[in-house]
Amino acid sequence: MIQPRNLMHSEMPDEFRIRVATLEDAEVISWHRARMFQDMGELPSNLFEAFRASSRDQLLYLLERGRYVGWLLSLEKTPNKIIAGAGVHLRRVLPHPVKNAATFAHGHHGVIVNVFTEPEWRRKGLAGMLLKQIIDWSRDEKLDRLLLHASANGRALYERFGFVAANEMRFAGSDSVSRK
């Protein structure tokens, strides 16, 4: 069972609270996910609800199996009103070499997803608090790799936390694998 890293009192302002997501949080996480893509201009309004419902179903599946770990942030005085969240989708890949090391990675990867802050709370450091929680947890879990797909608006934040552009490429040919 995956347990959250406890925050020390000095690491987070008194007014905020971060907790680990549960199955009951799939609704709010799926809402955040759909809003995130809508805010980036990648999800048309006519697909919003179907995308949100599909995301909810997949989140339930992943949460039940321990393949998704999420963190939700609220004000201490209103813990049921989630104002920001982020998660890690855990995946296994084949073992791979580790550059400049006399060992290899066993293929435990985490993909940071669903980083979302309600608009009125943006630029106040909330996403940074969640990222710190994720990075600390990932170290405790001894993940081989922690990666994410950054939006233009999020890139500077991720770079401040030590993320760098990597060698991953995505197939986007005219006969894309995602087209039927």
* Domain ranges within the chain, ordered by starting residue: 14-160
Average pLDDT over residues 130-157: 94
- 14-160 CATH fold: Aminopeptidase (3.40.630)
* Count of Cβ atoms closer than 10 Å to residue 153 Cβ: 10
CB atoms within 10 A of CB 109: 19
Lookup result for tokens 């599909």: 54
CA separation for the pair 25, 155 (Å, rounded) = 27
Q: What is the mean pLDDT of residues 58-65?
A: 98
Mean pLDDT over residues 128-149, rounded? 96
Beta bridge partners of 86: 71
Q: State yes or no: pLDDT of 2 exceeds 80.
A: no
Nearest to 73 by CA among 120, 149, 148, 15: 15
% of the chain surpassing 90 pLDDT: 73
The least confident of 8-17, 106-115, 137-146 is 8-17
**DSSP assignment, residue 15?**
T
Q: Provide the pLDDT for residue 6.
A: 42
pLDDT reported for residue 9: 33
Strands (E), 98-144: 104-105, 108-117
**What integer is the mean pLDDT of 10-20?**
77
Confidence of residue 39 (pLDDT cuts 50, 70, 90): very high
| Structural tokens at position 110 | 């985490």
Q: What angle do CA 180, 56, 15 make, to 5 degrees?
A: 140
Encoding tokens for residue 118?
Answer: 């309600």
